[in-house]
Amino acid sequence: MFSKNTKLEKFKDAETIIGASIKVKGNFNGQGDIVIEGRLEGSLKTVANVFVGEKAKVSANIEASEALISGEINGNIKVKKYLAISETAKINGDVQCGEISIERGASITGQIIVSSEDSKKTDNKKERIDTEA
């Protein structure tokens, strides 16, 4: 879903946008794409996609179908499909996803579990990567 040239293109029709000057607290549940450029505290869950901008600061657990993380996350991330972590990302928490890409320079402190839907159904095979920045 995400490529370097079209990182934000998929989010032009996002259902929810938390702008750079906005700080929100609460538990958010949605059906559409969510863009976070500001600050979020609480939890975030959507059946669609999440984009966390480079200057965003999130203190929340995140659940989504796919996600692109470029900012700071303090909390766990659970993504069903593809998770892209950019070079500016700082994640303090555990990460669970179906597929992952991590750019050089990203910081992750926590456990990473990559497990595709197909392997869960056939043999419960999981790939574990423990990292500490």
Mean pLDDT value across residues 101-105: 97
- Residue extents of the structural domains in the chain: 4-131
CA distance 68 to 51: 5
When pLDDT is cut at 50, 70 and 90, the band that residue 131 belongs to is low
Backbone angles phi, psi at 4, to 5 degrees: -55, -35
What pTM did the predictor assign?
A: 0.80
Give the CA count within 13 Å in the CB-facing half-sphere of 37: 10
